[in-house]
Amino acid sequence: MTQDFATRIIAPGSTIGIMGNGQLGRMAALCAAELGYKVHVFGPGANSPTEQVCAKATIADYTDLEALRAFAADVDVVTFEFENVPHDSVKLLSELVPVRPGWKCLHLSQNRLREKTFCNENGIGTAPFAAVRSLTDLEAAVAKLGRPAVLKTTEMGYDGKGQVKITPDTDLADAWAEMNGAEAILEGFIAFEREISVIVARGVKGDTACFCPVENVHTNHILDVTIAPALISAELSQKAEDIATRLVGAMEFVGLLAVEMFVTSDGAVLVNEVAPRPHNSGHWTIDACITSQFEQFIRAVCGLPLGNPAHHSQARMKNLLGHDIDDWQAILAEPDAKLHLYGKAEAKPGRKMGHITWVLPK
């Protein structure tokens, strides 16, 4: 990236290119419009949640080089709501237009092994882990880390996909077969008290702003409820924000980074994984913060001053999966509930169709 690309301010009236066309892009595009920007979205599949609310859409595979070049020529900056884009495609874009966060940040966060190694190299704790590229590796890793543990693909898995729990009864050959030959990582068991996350923005000049830590409750490996702020001490909150801030600085990151963490019974805060984009656990900020995560995302990507992330209310956010959205009338009848639907055509089991945020007195 040229120095001009690294520091260029993207003025209102410009076009933001968003890779990925799901609900995160949709909510980002709505905030971009409020700040006077147009959005051109790139991704496979017609009538996507983002396409419904943006100025222009390119419907193409992420490896379509001709479509990528045409996309780059039509936008002033590129960012992501979906990070699993081939890094060669991102490198191509970065030669043609400012890309924020940069392709090296995406490459790092696309791979659990690279991500955890980077954290440890920068003095940030994680669960113990080992690389697994064969059944022999898996047997050695289990001997070292013990059971229970979790075997995960290093790339592409999310919401519990691409992972197998290793219990005392698990046959390791069967577990390795489930990886289908993909590179994997074995993560040791952590006895944690709660799962939290911190979303931090970093601007083109290195300025940062953190949203308060929130507590996340998962059901079947999918985020169910976020409680904001997390019910933890001020000391633990500061420790979590310091970790997130240290990470974005070490990555030379520009944009919005979500950092998922475990809090252990002895007060340690360990990084679980990161996401270089807006995050499900930050949806509550739309209704309960001075600046939402989506507005902050647009500000950071465009090189604008970062907004105030302080919350003016407490909040509780719940994902609506599948046919949960059929209760929309009852939800709207609740005076403190804010309903957000994503415009997806078909409700499927486990599919994120929308969310509710209950805004509570601070």
Rounded CA separation 84/214 (Å): 25
Rounded CA separation 324/355 (Å): 9
Q: Is 36 marked within a binding site?
A: no
- Residue 129 CA, chain-centre distance (Å), reads 21
Q: Is 34 marked within a binding site?
A: no
Q: Is 112 marked within a binding site?
A: yes
CA distances from 361 to 312, 313, 318 (A): 8, 5, 18
Q: Is 188 marked within a binding site?
A: yes
Query: Could you tell me where the beta strands, DSSP code E, fall in 240-321?
Result: 255-264, 269-275, 314-321
At 95 the three-state DSSP class reads coil
Rounded CA separation 353/331 (Å): 14
Residue showing tokens 């237009």: 97
Q: Is 272 marked within a binding site?
A: yes
Residue pair 19/103 in contact (Cβ under 8 Å)? The answer is: no
Rounded CA separation 92/83 (Å): 15
Q: Is 239 marked within a binding site?
A: no
Q: Is 273 marked within a binding site?
A: yes
Q: Is 159 marked within a binding site?
A: yes
Q: Where are the alpha helices (DSSP H) in 75-122?
A: 87-94, 103-109, 112-121
CA torsion 125→194→220→164, rounded to 10°?
30
Question: Could you tell me whether strands 214-219 and 222-228 are parallel, antiparallel, or unpaired per DSSP bridges?
Answer: antiparallel
Q: Is 118 marked within a binding site?
A: no
Q: Is 157 marked within a binding site?
A: yes
Cis-peptide into 12, omega within 30 deg: no
Rounded CA separation 192/210 (Å): 23
Tally helices (H) and strands (E) across the chain: 12, 17
Q: Is 218 marked within a binding site?
A: yes
Please give the annotated binding residues, written as ranges.
Answer: 112, 152, 157-163, 187-190, 195, 218, 272-273
For the annotated binding site for ATP, the residues are 112, 152, 157-163, 187-190, 195, 218, 272-273
